[in-house]
């Protein structure tokens, strides 16, 4: 019987077909995870008493704003993958939209960050080590927020590079079963699972 493109619950945020590429699933889960972490981090920043609260929150403006468009486009990718209409060309277009929207949102976030910069910075003594941004010494929590912002861009660029490397079918939806992104791998060198499926398909006694 032909397999249906039913969504699967593998992964905390995944709504992809059961035969979806693990690489595609990982990238989407990471992007959705960044969005969730940004919201959680913003909540803790607001409720926990601390100095420079608005400055600390401004470090999250970029991941929070970029997550709005990223989550929307990831859900579009997943719906088209389930429907079997996610072509390579359309997937590349989504990644370009993600990057363009992220750059635009980051500009807004940077403006908000500048507006939240305190007029008076922290005292900076000679020989004192640490990271300083806009005259404010970055503490451990603020450093974690900067890492969150860093990985937000890492996964956005990863999805863009992945879209250029993946192998699409000549017609129809993208090859979701592991044919994409075979960089440096000979076509004959399929993985064990693919070989097993091929042998099963050639066995006349095997019934799908």
Rounded CA gap, 76 and 72, in Å?
6
Mean pLDDT of the chain: 75
* 184 within domain boundaries: yes
* 16 within domain boundaries: no
Q: Print pLDDT tens along the chain (208 aa).
A: 444 444 444 444 556 777 677 788 888 899 999 999 999 999 998 888 777 788 888 889 999 999 999 999 999 988 888 888 888 888 889 999 999 999 999 999 989 888 877 766 555 656 556 676 766 777 888 889 999 999 999 999 999 888 877 655 444 445 544 444 343 344 444 455 555 555 555 555 544 4
* 17 within domain boundaries: no
Structural domain for 43, as ranges: 22-120+131-202
- Residues 6 or more apart from 173 whose CB is under 8 A from it? 80, 81, 84, 85, 86, 87
**Using CB atoms within 10 A of its CB, is residue 152 exposed (0-12), middle (13-18) or buried (19+)?**
buried
Residue-level pLDDT at 6: 45
- Residues 6 or more apart from 28 whose CB is under 8 A from it? 11, 13, 14, 16, 74, 77, 78, 159
* 1 within domain boundaries: no
* 126 within domain boundaries: no
* 47 within domain boundaries: yes
* 171 within domain boundaries: yes
Number of domains in the chain: 1
* 5 within domain boundaries: no
């Amino acid at each position: 019987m032909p397999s249906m493109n039913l969504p699967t619950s593998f992964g905390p945020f995944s709504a992809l077909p059961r035969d979806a590429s693990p690489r595609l699933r990982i990238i989407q889960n990471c992007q959705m995870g960044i969005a969730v972490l940004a919201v959680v981090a913003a909540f803790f920043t607001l409720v926990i008493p601390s100095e420079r609260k608005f400055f600390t929150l401004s470090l999250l403006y970029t991941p929070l704003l970029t997550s709005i468009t990223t989550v929307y486009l990831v859900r579009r990718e997943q719906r088209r993958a389930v429907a079997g209409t996610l072509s390579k060309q359309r997937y590349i277009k989504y990644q370009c939209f993600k990057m363009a929207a992220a750059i635009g949102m980051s500009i807004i976030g940077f403006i908000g960050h500048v507006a939240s910069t305190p007029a008076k910075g922290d005292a900076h003594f000679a020989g004192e080590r640490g990271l300083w941004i806009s005259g404010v010494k970055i503490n451990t929590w603020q450093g974690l927020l900067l890492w969150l912002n860093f990985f937000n861009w890492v996964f956005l660029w990863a999805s863009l590079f992945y879209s250029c490397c993946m192998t699409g079918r000549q017609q129809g939806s993208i090859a979701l079963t592991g044919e994409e992104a075979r960089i440096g791998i000979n076509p004959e060198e399929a993985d064990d699972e693919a070989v097993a499926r091929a042998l099963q398909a050639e066995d006349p006694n095997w019934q799908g």
